[in-house]
Chain A
Amino acid sequence: DRRRTGEALRAFHTAIRSSPGSSRSQAMKEQAQGTMLKVLTSFKSSEIEQAVNSLDRNGVDLLMKYIYKGFEKPTENSSAILLQWHEKALAVGGLGSIIRVLTARKTV
C-alpha cells in the first residue's frame, strides 16, 4: 500500500514537472489536463496533504491552476476530490495562489 502511495506521489510530481508551460497546442494542454486529473483523483484523501507539502511555491501555483481547470470540466465525482485538493493547496498557497489563477496569462 505504501508502494501505491509512492507511485501516486511520483506520478504527481511527473505530471507537475512535465506541464506544458508555454505550449500553444490546445491538444497538448488537454492531454496534460486529463493526465493531471487522473493523477489527482487517484489519491486517497489522507495522502493529499503530504503531496501538497512536497511542492515548492511555483508547484503550488501550478497545482491550483489545474484544480480550477478540473472544476471547469467536471466529471462524475471529480469535484469532490478536487475540493479536497483545493482545501490543502489553499492552506499552503493562500489566497494569492487563487489570485494568480485568475490573473495568469499562460493558462494550463
Chain B
Amino acid sequence: MAYHSFLLEPISCHAWNKDRTQIALCPNNHEVHIYRKDGAKWSKVHELKEHNGQVTGIDWAPESNRLVTCGTDRNAYVWTLKGNVWKPTLVILRINRAARCVKWSPKENKFAVGSGSRLISICYFEQENDWWVCKHIKKPIRSTVLSLDWHPNNVLLAAGSCDFKCRIFSAYIKEVEERPSPTPWGSKMPFGELMFESSSSCGWVHSICFSASGSRVAWVSHDSTLCLADAGKKMAVASLCTETLPLLAVTFITENSLVAAGHDCCPMLFTYEESQGALTFGGKLDVPKQSSQRGLTARERFQNLDKKASSDTANATLDTLHKNSISQISVLTGGKDKCSQFCTTGMDGGMSIWDVKVRNPRGPLRLG
C-alpha cells in the first residue's frame, strides 16, 4: 500500500481519470485541484475555480474524459478539456439546497446529482438547445440524498438518503436511450419508477454501491450497519450490525466481497455468503505495526487509573495509515468484480492506494 499526504485538511471528494495518472480532488474549499503522477511524486497541474461553495462531489468520465462537479452553491458544472484548459459548463439543477453527490452514468450520456432538496436531478444534454437539462426524481424521498450509484444498464440508479433508506429508481431518459430490457429488479422502468426500497435502518445512508453485475446493491448506514439487497433472492436484504464506528464508504471488489471504511480510519473486508444470505466481517485490512511499548512507572500507572479509570498502556495515537476518518473509496483497477487495487481518501487530507491479493480463486482475500 502507498500513502500520500496531499493536504492538512480533509479531502472533500476525489475522482480518477481513466488511466489513473491524474486525480481530481476538492481540498475542502470551493475549488477542484488536479494532480498528475510524476514518478513517485504528485504535481498539481490544474486548479478549477468556478463553484461558489464547497465542492461536494466530483466524477471523471473515463471515455469522454469530462469532469462533473457539484457543490453547496446548488450548482453542477461539466468540465471539458480544451487544449490544456478545463472549461466549465453550468448545469441548472433547479434545486434550492446544496448538491451532495454526483455520478456519471456508465454510458456517460447522463449524470445524477443528489441534494439536500430531497430529490435527485438526472441531467442529460439536449442537442437542439446545446445545453444540459434535468429531470427530477422526488417521490418518495424524504431527506437529503447522500450517495448515488448507477446500475450497469445505464438506467437504474441506487440512492442512499438521510431518511434512512436505500432506494433504486429508474432514471430512464427516452431522449438519449432505448427502452431498457428487464432486469432482476423489475421490467417496467418509466422515469422515476421506484424499483426497490429498503425498510428503515436507523441511520443516514452514507454510501451505496451496485455490484458489477448490478444484481446486488450494498449500503452503509450511520447506525454502524452494512446491508445488502440481492435481486437474485427476490430482493432479500442481509444486514450486519458491525462492532465498529459508522462506515462512510463502501464498494464491491468482487461479486461476493465488499470493502468499507469510515470513522475507524481503516478499510475493512466483508463477505456475502449467497446460500445463507448472510454478511460476515472479514477483518481490518490495515494491520498496524506494533509500536514498541515501554514500561510505565508506578506514578504513570496511577495517573492513568485516576484520569482514565484504566491502567491500559495503549497509547492515544492511531496506528492506522489514515489518521482520520476515511470518507471515500474508489476502485482503481480490476473493476467491481475483480478489483486488484482501490483508493481511499479521508479527513486527514491523505490518499492511500491498497492492493488486493487473491491467494487462490476460492480462498480469502488478502491485502498487500
Interface residues, chain A, with chain B CB atoms under 8 Å away = 57-58, 61, 93-97, 99-100, 103-105
Contacts and interface: CB of A to CB of B under 8 A. Distances in A.
Contact of A95 (B200, B202, B245): B245
Given A103-B222, A103-B223, A97 B243 contact: yes
Interface residues of B, number: 13
Nearest to A91: B243
Interface-centre pick from B241, B244, B246 (highest chain A CB count, 10 A): B241
Given A100-B224, A103-B222, A94 B200 contact: no
Contacts of B203: 103
Interface string B126-150: 0000000000000000000000000
A100 B164 CA distance: 13
Given A97-B241, A103-B202, 15 more contacts: A57-B241, A94-B243, A95-B224, A95-B243, A96-B224, A96-B244, A99-B223, A99-B224, A99-B246, A100-B224, A100-B225, A103-B222, A103-B223, A103-B224, A105-B200
A93 B200 CA distance: 22
Given A103-B202, A103-B203, A96 B241 contact: yes
Nearest to A105: B202
B245 A99 contact: yes
Interface in B235-268: 241-246
Nearest to B310: A87
A61 B222 CA distance: 15
A99 B244 CA distance: 9
A106 B349 CA distance: 37
Contacts of A103: 202-203, 222-224
A94 B242 contact: yes
Choose among B200, B242, B244 the residue with the greatest number of A CB atoms under 10 Å from its CB: B242
